[in-house]
Amino acid sequence: MVALVATSGNDSSDPRTPAESSGSGGRSPIPSLSIPTALPSEFPSNLPSGLPSELPSELPSELPSDLESLFTAPADDAVPYYMLAAGDCFDTDSNQPGQAARRSCRAPHDAEVVKVAELEGTYTSDAALRKAASALCEQTLQRKAAAQPPDTVRGTLVQYPDAASYRLGIDKVACSLSAEPGGGNRKLNKPLA
């Protein structure tokens, strides 16, 4: 139930309704409020009577367990370098800078990620980013390379964002050891020690 009470600021005993005392001389319509007192007795008869009995067969049977699998990867399992994790093995391609094609560490591969770090601070040039990324990787790469059997690793690979990517929020640095600098013919054939 809704009640509406209208009062004016004076205590006059003017018998006219608020619409009549407005001074316009004529009657204005007074809005009315009506609330239904009962529900409709009939519902439309053309409503669907049931749910589908079968689901499409092409639905996936399992949901992905990681966000990365929701994105379509470029050919050859290539991913942006910043999606690599420590222990990932990969191949490089000079035609796809910033990309890494994941490989099994038990199969021939160009490099293995030793450490992933995050840049902090303000950098306005690619040279400043290169210097900061190299500093983040230097000690870890030297220590890990010294622990490898002789003639296993011959190079390092430090992957970092350029200044434009860094401004967009990409701050990962991948520190890797490689079989040969520049992706030559030599390969690593097992995980690093």
Q: What is the pLDDT of residues 75-116, one digit of tens each?
A: 457 899 999 999 999 998 888 888 999 999 999 999 999 999
pLDDT band at 51 (very low <50, low <70, confident <90, very high): low
CB count within 10 Å of CB 5 equals 4
pLDDT band at 143 (very low <50, low <70, confident <90, very high): very high
pTM over 0.85: no
pLDDT at 66: 46
Burial (CB < 10 A; 0-12, 13-18, 19+), residue 140, is: middle
- CA dihedral sign of residues 87, 88, 89, 94: negative
- For 13, the token pair is 């005993």
- For 18, the token pair is 């608020």
**What's the rounded Cα separation, in Å, for the pair 126 and 162?**
5
